[in-house]
Amino acid sequence: MTPDEMKQLAQLLQAMPGIKAVELRDVKRLADLLRESPEIGSIQVTGLFGTGIVINRTVAAPHPAAQPAHYAAAPPPPPAAPPGPGAAAPVAPPAPSHLKEVKSPMVGTFYMAPEPGADAYVRVGARVASGQTVCIIEAMKIMNEIESEVSGVIREICVEDAQPVEFGQVLFRVDPNG
């Protein structure tokens, strides 16, 4: 974020009811925190009467070089007992390991299309490119376009349209080899 953009954002925030104490240096600190901390996907500031702002990372942060890790093999799971009366439905098996997950960078409401009645951004079987918009998550009345971080074929859509989602929740599974 450039200094001019930060100044414009701070001026905009000053005009919002309930957020009178936000200053340029505060916005700069939030932007710096986002830039320096790749584990933070977004920052929300809420003022009086539910007013607020959301600052999202617009580009993926560079990941540190992966270090090889050595783990002991996990013991095999115990055999499953047959379900008795009143038992919960079995949990879906984990996704095959070759599929890459597109996760929610924030808490909000998941939307498959840019507006009601419009075609969905993607469907199962659709090819996506890295950086392509795959859905929208609404947070604090702001529509945030979510981009795929991987190229490939959508193999699974894990969320229903208009469903609430949590930070880090899997939205899509993509086959990078597809």
Per the document, the length of the chain is 178
Banded pLDDT at 70 (limits 50, 70, 90): very low
Q: Is 100-175 a domain of CATH 2.40.50.100?
A: yes
For residues 85 and 66, the model is more confident at 85
In this prediction the pTM is: 0.47
How far lies 11's CA from each of 111, 119, 142, 148, 157, in Å? 30, 36, 18, 32, 39
DSSP 24: H
The domain spans of the chain are 3-56, 100-175
What is the per-residue pLDDT for 102?
94
Structure tokens at 82: 């047959």
What mean pLDDT is predicted for residues 64-91? 50
Cα 101 to Cα 75: distance, rounded to the nearest angstrom: 25
Residue 108, φ and ψ in degrees, nearest 5? 170, -160
Kindly state the greatest CA–CA separation across the chain.
Answer: 64
Cα 79 to Cα 82: distance, rounded to the nearest angstrom: 9
pLDDT (tens digit per residue) in 100-130? 999 999 999 999 999 989 999 999 999 999 9
Question: For residue 45, what are the β-bridge partners?
Answer: 53
What is the per-residue pLDDT for 68?
44
